[in-house]
Amino acid sequence: MPVPLIIAVGGSGRHARVVLEAADLAGLPVRGVLADAVPPGAAFLGSHRVLGGLDRLRDRSLLHSCHVHLGAGDQAVRRSMARTIWENGGQLGTIIHPASIVSPSATVGAGTFLAAGAIVGVGAVLAEACLVNTGASIDHDCRLDFGVSAGPGARLAGSVRCEDDALIGLNASVLQGLRIGRGAIVGAGAVVTRDVPAGSTVVGCPARPLER
């Protein structure tokens, strides 16, 4: 029997709606949600009950009975939530949409979310709290470190390495064997043909550093 899940709602709650629907479709037991913007006891996305605010991420008794999924699209919010959960003895819960495709040889870390149509290829390794959005493809032997986000329709060719908190934008492509540095951003529709340094933003085809 799977461990019950709680969804921690961050930001506007739109991403949390996506993960809740995926959890329902996957048949995962969701005990409720934590949200600051909705009063306790209220309904969130139909029948899901709000159990309290995000301060309950410090509630050790709650954390010991459930795993928590990070229902936030913003990477900084997800990282902050994860740190609070871990500091209080909790564990992250993973949600994989039943319409995604995951190789049996791939590794999907705790707290990661795979949306509808996401593909994770042979030998790929996804660390904790990654977000692979609708229709994104993570090809063979890629490695995504903590908190990496791949936007809808993003394409990572084989053996790409994305370091912590890197963001690959909507419909962006990264060619085989490249490295995307920690906290780097690949803009929507970009085609990356060389390594991207940590903390930088690249856009265009071929991708170039964004001029500020």
Residue 193 has pLDDT above 70, yes or no: yes
**β partners of residue 114:** 96, 132
> What is the per-residue pLDDT across 135-159, written as a single tens digit (0 to 9) for each?
999 999 999 999 999 999 999 999 9
Q: Is 140 a catalytic residue?
A: yes
**pLDDT, tens digit, 9 for 90 and up, residues 46-104:** 778 899 999 999 999 999 999 999 999 888 999 999 999 999 999 999 999 999 999 99
**DSSP reduced 3-state for 42:** coil
What pLDDT shows up at residue 210? 85
Q: What CA–CA distance (Å, rounded) separates 48 from 34?
A: 10
Structure confidence at residue 31 (pLDDT):
92
Residue 1's pLDDT band (boundaries 50, 70, 90)?
Answer: low
Say what the pLDDT of residue 20 is. 93
Torsion of CA 100, 106, 109, 113, to 10 degrees: -10
Range 85-90 contact pairs with CB under 8 angstroms and sequence separation of 24 or more: 85/57, 88/57, 88/58, 88/59, 88/60, 88/63, 89/60, 89/63, 89/64, 90/57, 90/60, 90/63, 90/64
Q: What percent of the chain has pLDDT over 90?
A: 84
The set of residues, in sequence order, having a beta carbon less than 8 Å from that of 129 and lying 6+ positions away, is: 70, 78, 79, 82, 92, 109, 110, 111, 112, 146, 147
Please say whether the beta carbons of 140 and 121 come within 8 A.
yes
**What is d(CA 85, CA 194) in angstroms, rounded to the nearest whole number?**
36
Query: pLDDT at position 75, please?
Result: 87
Residue 17 sits at φ, ψ, to 5 deg, of -65, -40
CB 109 within 8 A of CB 91: no
* Whether the Cβ atoms of residue 118 and residue 142 lie closer than 8 Å to each other: no
pLDDT tens digits, 26-37: 999 999 999 987
| Alpha-carbon torsion (93, 123, 166, 137), positive or negative | negative
- Mean pLDDT to the nearest integer, 164-192: 97
For the segment 101-140, what is each residue's pLDDT rounded down to a tens digit? 999 999 999 999 999 999 999 999 999 999 999 999 999 9
DSSP H or E run through 75: helix 75-87
Selected catalytic residue, list 15, 48, 67, 140: 140
Question: Residue 183, by phi and psi: left (phi above 0), alpha (psi -120 to 50) or beta?
Answer: left
What is residue 13's predicted lDDT score, i.e. its pLDDT? 80
What is residue 168's predicted lDDT score, i.e. its pLDDT? 98
